[in-house]
Structure formats: structure tokens, C-alpha cells
Amino acid sequence: MVGKWKVALLILTLIQDGRGQTTPQGTDPLLVHVLQVEKHPSKIPGPKSLKDKIAIVGAGPSGIHMAYKLKKAGFKNVVVLEKSGDVGGKSRTIYHRGVPHEMGTCYTHPDYEEIYELIREHDAGDILPMPSPSMWVDTPRGKVPLTSSQYYAIEARKIKPDMANGTEGLFFQAAIQKYIKLHTSLFGQYEGMLMPRPDRAKLAATNMTFVEFLRKHDIEILKAIFLPAATMQGYGHVDEVSDVYAMMWLTPNFLTNLLRRDENGESNIKILSKGFQFLWQEMRRQNNLDVRLNSPVLGIVRSKRGFILIYRDCNFWRFEHFDFLILTPFMKSLSNVIQFNREENSLFQTSFHYYFMATLADTTYGRRSETPTGYFANNIKSKIDNLVWGFRDSYASLNNIIGANYSSGIFPGGTDGKKLQSSIYYQMLQARPVRAIAEQMLRDHVNRVEQAQVVGVQKQIVWDYFARYPVPDIANGILWDILDIQGKYGIWYIGSSVSFESLTAVVGYNNLLLKRMDLPKM
């Protein structure tokens, strides 16, 4: 199969398909308005006409959002090619026992304002408060659950043993305020997650891991917050991840509101009543986006007038010409699909990722804390593959069953009325997991820690997660170097591998390109 399409690529390269045409350009008022509020003077090349045929490879959040924005802006011919049977990518929601279970995207925070707007616009469910997680720590008696406040107090005393009782909160607040000042002095105020390119001196000041940055500025206590807010979410260990990535995620707004309650006295961390995948499904349906499912792209040929995409449609191969190309997957993974040029290769080849396994499992009721979400701090810190990092009881989380109501197990674990707990368990790995080993370690964990039994595994997904660059590459400005070539070769490179692994990051990156694009003219 692979050999056949490579031959086809060679033939197509030689014949140079000539169907692409330049059409009269048109001006779109929506994008004009977007550009009016963008202060950055540089422009990014984009489609030359509102009638250009645009291919988006991948129907994950970045691809669906971009298709939606382009259609709203007046582009007439946008096609999304998706290899799987549904949209949403890592926003994968599985319904089990009448409950949506998030296998990928699961939370939002105050920086997700555009996501909230999209949810409201498409009537994609209610935005609900997420109960605070319990932090399970190792003791001579085994793992015991603590509240977040108790955990932060213990971590604070590890940094400052002579701290007076009751002053832990003040210690954290002082560190947060100092961090915010440092963040602002380095990057200023900006929209989205990718800050404007810092100058050389400021980039040099970030050529370190996040823990090195915290120690340098005497705010190491914040690594206690980083563990549940970032590492547990798959965003790397504090002593490994680039300072820039950490500061992209831990914005002043996020950090300020993380330990606060919203105007209703509820958590600022939110979940969705119908699941995140439902949002992207509704955006596709309500906006009549041209998404072609079960259509894996096998090859892409550059021609003088655009691109020829070879993709499978059922049992048939399709050869289709497009004027402009938008790529959303992990860029490094596309090297067998498109022949990147030297400049592109130099920007994509050093990126890497780890893995996380999400398992939806039914268990008996066992030992519980007072919240339906738990993070196992020592497992996370150990960096040992296959250990369980955390879990979330979906039904109890969505219904805010907490305190004694949860720990006592008086309520059922689903809409079917059965006292059976259905949870998502997370295991993080540096190497692709062997499923049998990972599942056995999960079963052992449930038996030993929760003192319960796994009744059945309903679904298990392994994600390639948090594509990123080494610390020196980030400090050399590689994310902004990628931004500088956007559109240069008739391609936009979007998605998490060129920005950050979160919904607000990929949506914000799309907006950045649209704000800075060269608009088609009438």
C-alpha cells in the first residue's frame, strides 16, 4: 500500500496538476475587524481568494475551530479530512451508564473564555464546577488522601520548615504575586497562550527548566501548585519542562484564580455536562462544515499551483487538488505524508512527546476520600511508567457529590442506580505502553489503594501527548521561528505541536494566524 502511493506521488510530482486557479480576491468584514484590534505589524500569508480550495488535515479541535472560523470569515471551499470516524481528536467522550466520560480533554479554567463562548453559541451543554481533587500522599500507613490546602501546607513546610503555623497561605500569595510580576516583566500583557517573541535577553533568561526558574527567583514553593495544575495534566515535570512552556500554561490570570472561587462561590475549574466532544460535533453539524470522516491522508504532493492530496475514501483512493493547506497533527509524524523542505524539517525534527493512557473502568465501591477526583502525588513525582497518577469518578464529579455523601458511598455511581463506580484512570509513560502491563498495574493499584476490585475495563486509549521541544530550542525561539514561516510555503501549521497541548492554546493560535493573515481583496 505505502509503496503504491509513493509511486503515485512521484508521477504526480512529474505531471504537476494544473487545476488550481487564482480567483478574484475578496475582503471579509469579520476578519477586517479582527485585524483592527491586532497591534502586531507583520502579516502572515494565507489563502489568496475566498474561493480558494482549502484542505485542513485533521478534525480535532484545532481543525474544526479553523474550519468554523474560515467559513464564518467568508471562505467558500474549506474541506476537513479526518482519518477516524468522528470529530474531536483528543476531545474524546465515551458514554457509559448514561454518563459522559472524558477520555481526553476534561477541564477548563478562566483562560478558556472563547471555549465558553463557543459552548454557549452552540448550546453544547452546561458549564459545571469541578470538585477540587484530593491529593493522595505516601505515609507509613500507605497512601492517604489530603485536601488541596493540607497538601499545599505540607509542601510549603518542605521549602520553609521554620514557617509559623497558619502562614502557609500568605507564603503562597507572596510567591504568586512575585511570579506574576516576573511573568509580566518578561512577556508583557498579550492575548492567547503564545506570547509575542521576547527579545534575546529575555529568551536567554528563560533558558532553563521551570524549577530552575523558581529557585532562581526564590519562589520554589510554586512547584507544589505546578504538580496538580500542570504535571498531572500531562504537561511535564517541573525539573524537565521548559520555563516558557510552564509560563504559557500558568498565566497570571490562571494562577490568580486557581485558588479562588468564582462569583457563585464555586471552583474556577469547570467540566461540561455533555462532554467536550459534543462541542466539536455540534460545531460541525450546526455550521454544516465539510468534514470527510474515515478519510486518512496518505500523501501530499506540492505542485506549482497548490497541493494534491491523496486520501482514502472507503476502499477508493482520491486524488484532489487544493490551493492552500492547513496541517493539524503532530508535525514530526507527517514526514511520511509530505516531503518537508529543509527549513520545515529543521523546525520540526527535534520535537518529541510522551504518552498517557486513559482507562474507563468499573470498580466496586472501596476506600474513598471526600472528593470524586484524586491525584497520587508520590506516583507522579516518581516518574515511573505505568503508575496510576490520578482518577476521576465521572458521575459524582458531574453531580457534585462530595464530602460524606461521596466518602460513605450512599449514592449510586451512574444513572442506572447501581453502586458501581465508573472512573477514568490516568497512567503517564515516557515509552509507548504495553497495554497488558499497564492494565495489571491499574488493577493492582485499585486493589491496594482503593481496596476495591476492577469489575470491567470499558475503554482504554493511549494518547501521544504534549508534543514539545527541548529547553534550549525553546530558548532559541523555535516556536516563533515556526510562526515566521506560516504561509510561506502555502501551508499553515497549527495544532498543539506548534503551540501547546490545550484547547485554549490551539484556538488562540488559530486566532493569531487569522488576525495576522493577508486578507483577500475584492
Q: For position 36, what pLDDT does the model report?
A: 35
Q: Does residue 169 register a pLDDT over 90?
A: no
pLDDT band at 90 (very low <50, low <70, confident <90, very high): very high
How many percent of the chain have pLDDT more than 90? Answer: 85
* 79 neighbors 53 (Cβ within 8 angstroms): yes
The residue among 299, 278, 292, 363 whose CA lies nearest residue 97 is: 363
Strands 142-146 and 316-322: unpaired
Q: For position 164, what pLDDT does the model report?
A: 83
Taking only the tens place, the pLDDT of each residue in 277-335 is 999 999 999 999 999 999 999 999 999 899 999 999 988 999 999 999 999 999 999 99
Rounded to an integer, the average pLDDT of 377-382 is 98
Q: For position 522, what pLDDT does the model report?
A: 52
Q: Does residue 505 register a pLDDT over 60?
A: yes
Q: For position 260, what pLDDT does the model report?
A: 78
Q: For position 513, what pLDDT does the model report?
A: 97
Domains parsed from the chain with CATH numbers: 54-91+275-350+469-516 (3.50.50.60), 96-273+353-468 (3.90.660)
Phi, psi for 312 (deg, rounded to 5): -95, 135
* The residue type at 167: T
Q: Does residue 224 register a pLDDT over 60?
A: yes
Q: For position 243, what pLDDT does the model report?
A: 97
* The residue type at 491: I
pLDDT band at 483 (very low <50, low <70, confident <90, very high): very high
Length of the chain: 522
Q: For position 262, what pLDDT does the model report?
A: 73
Taking only the tens place, the pLDDT of each residue in 19-32 is 333 333 333 333 33
Q: Does residue 263 register a pLDDT over 90?
A: no
What is the arrangement of strands in the sheet containing 53-57, beginning at the earlier edge strand? 290-292, 77-81, 53-57, 324-327, 491-493
Q: For position 34, what pLDDT does the model report?
A: 36
Give the distance from CA 27 to its chain's centroid: 32
Q: For position 4, what pLDDT does the model report?
A: 43
Q: For position 314, what pLDDT does the model report?
A: 84
Report the 10 Å Cβ neighbour count for 38: 14
